[in-house]
């Protein structure tokens, strides 16, 4: 039990140090000092600093992925794509703030600066989580819930990037997590999703209503909208460091 506790402490202080100073600038001696153990004791639990890093990267991704998936799975089977995205956003944020935000923030901060051999073990996991988001946004676009003219790649970059930054400023002593989560999702949703009035406009007039001729002056605007929809189907890859 004592060994397991010590291992957890090593991971917690390492995540905090990696988050604050980066991977390269953090030494095992600093980790041991912060954990209040002898430097050699770290090797009882981990073969190297690389092994400590790999576990932190794994925990960081697992926290956000598992939390996002759990939120989506808890929705009714007939939930709309928009509701699933909103639930996933809240779950992602909830996962980020777990462990005080240190594991996920450390994972996000250091991953982009690591050499390829240290990234390799985490790539498949990150890729799978990225595909989860791709499918959610693609389903929302297919359902007409994404604003016309938006690139799903940019949408994902902005949404996940904004949420990922939350642990840097959120202070639980000065705000309620649920309120902050609701506000973030609402603000992002305003820029991503179509409004009710836009939904009706996209659906066209109801069958019982008389048809209205489209003025010729509106034709260029319609053509521009169509062109924007076509451009919106282009995808931009999300950098792994953003997951």
Query: Mind listing the pLDDT tens digit for each residue in 102-155?
Result: 888 888 888 888 888 888 888 888 899 999 999 999 999 999 999 999 999 999
Question: CA-CA distance, 93 to 95, in Å (whole number)?
Answer: 5
More confident residue, 198 or 71: 71
Instruction: Determine phi and psi for 206, rounding to 5 degrees.
Output: -65, 155
> Residue 220, class by beta-carbon neighbours within 10 Å (0-12 exposed, 13-18 middle, 19+ buried)?
exposed
Into how many domains does the chain fold? 2
Q: Are residues 74 and 35 in the same domain?
A: no
96: CATH: 1.10.357.10
In a domain, residue 85? The reply is: yes
Dump pLDDT digits (tens) for 59-70: 999 999 999 999
- Cβ atoms of 71 and 87 closer than 8 Å: yes
Q: Are residues 11 and 92 in the same domain?
A: no
Model confidence at 196, pLDDT cuts 50, 70, 90, reads low
Residue span of the structural domain in which 22 resides: 1-46
SS3 50: helix
Q: Are residues 22 and 68 in the same domain?
A: no
Q: Are residues 3 and 110 in the same domain?
A: no
Q: Are residues 97 and 140 in the same domain?
A: yes
Q: Are residues 118 and 35 in the same domain?
A: no
Q: Are residues 60 and 113 in the same domain?
A: yes
Q: Which residues pair with 146 in a beta bridge?
A: 193
Q: Which of 26, 49, 29, 47 is nearest to 38 (CA)?
A: 29
**Per-residue confidence (pLDDT) for residue 210, from 0 to 100:** 45
In a domain, residue 51? The reply is: no
What pTM was computed for the model? 0.76
Q: Are residues 8 and 107 in the same domain?
A: no
- Cβ atoms of 132 and 65 closer than 8 Å: yes
Q: Are residues 73 and 6 in the same domain?
A: no
26: CATH: 1.10.10.60
Dump pLDDT digits (tens) for 167-186: 888 887 777 778 889 999 99
Q: Are residues 162 and 209 in the same domain?
A: yes
Q: Are residues 37 and 63 in the same domain?
A: no
Q: Are residues 33 and 121 in the same domain?
A: no
Residues 6+ apart with CB under 8 A from 9: 35, 36, 37
């Amino acid at each position: 039990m004592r060994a397991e506790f010590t291992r957890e402490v090593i991971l917690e202080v390492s995540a905090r140090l990696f988050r604050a100073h980066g991977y390269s600038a953090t030494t095992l001696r600093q980790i041991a000092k912060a954990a209040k153990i002898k430097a050699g004791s770290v090797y009882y639990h981990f073969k190297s600093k690389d092994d400590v890093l790999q576990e932190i990267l794994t925990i960081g991704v697992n926290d956000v992925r598992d939390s996002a998936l759990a939120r989506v799975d808890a929705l009714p089977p007939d939930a709309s794509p928009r509701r699933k995205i909103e639930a996933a956003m809240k779950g992602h944020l909830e996962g980020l703030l777990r462990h005080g935000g240190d594991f996920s923030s450390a994972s996000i901060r250091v991953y982009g600066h690591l050499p390829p051999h240290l990234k390799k073990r985490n790539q498949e996991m990150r890729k799978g989580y990225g595909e989860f988001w791709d499918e959610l946004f693609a389903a929302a676009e297919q359902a007409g819930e994404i604003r016309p003219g938006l690139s799903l790649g940019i949408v994902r970059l902005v949404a996940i990037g904004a949420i990922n930054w939350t642990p840097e400023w959120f202070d639980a002593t000065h705000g309620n997590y649920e309120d902050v989560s609701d506000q973030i999702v609402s603000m992002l949703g305003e820029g991503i999703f179509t409004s009710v009035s836009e939904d009706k406009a996209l659906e066209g007039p109801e069958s019982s209503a008389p048809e209205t001729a489209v003025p010729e002056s509106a034709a260029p605007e319609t053509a521009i909208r169509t062109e924007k929809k076509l451009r919106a189907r282009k995808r931009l890859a999300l950098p792994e460091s953003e997951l």
